[in-house]
Amino acid sequence: MFMGTFNNSIDAKNRMIVPSKHRDQLGGRCVLTKGMDKCLYIYSMNEWDKQMDKIEALPESDPKVRAFIRHFCANAVDCEFDKQGRIVIPAELKEYAGIDKELVTMGAMRKIEVWSKEVWDAPDNENKMDSEEFAESLAQYRF
């Protein structure tokens, strides 16, 4: 399980350092792709395979499923870490997430989310909940 929040950045060659705590769990390779909510997802190879199995079971006759497959798979890149523990963020993924320089990298259970710090810190970021909203949202799941 991936946990924790880290502030980092990308360099002039669009490389980001994956936090060592996460890197150790990824085993030298990972998949980077567009996530939901204008962030990027990093998956271990094993978890990526599990996601592909789930997606493969979806009915491709549904136009929304096809759109999701395009969003999720067409933009995925297989990444290997360099000696400094960096991966390259391709220009299209960088643009999608609004990444300029500063990043917020957070563990999100089975994946890692990579956010533009500017997007994450924006006052209108609907992906951050206060504790009251959090409690209300999870109550429907009996949490």
User: At residue 23, what are phi and psi to the nearest 5 degrees?
Assistant: -60, -40
Tens-digit pLDDT profile for residues 49-104: 999 999 999 999 999 999 999 999 999 999 999 999 999 999 999 999 999 999 99
Average pLDDT of the residues of the chain: 91
pLDDT higher than threshold 70 for residue 130: no
CA 136 to chain centre: 25
- Decide if 86 contacts 105 (C-beta within 8 A): no
Domains of the chain: which residue ranges?
5-141
- Mean pLDDT computed over 24-48: 95
43/141 Cα distance (integer angstroms) = 26
Type of residue numbered 69 = I
- Mean pLDDT computed over 114-129: 82
pLDDT band with cut points at 50, 70 and 90 for residue 143: low
**Residues in a beta bridge with 18:** none
Assigned CATH topology for domain 5-141:
Chemotaxis protein chec (3.40.1550)
pLDDT band with cut points at 50, 70 and 90 for residue 124: confident
Residues 72-81, buried b or exposed e (16+ Cβ, 10 A)? beebbeebeb
- In this prediction the pTM is 0.88
User: Tokens standing for 121?
Assistant: 């810190």
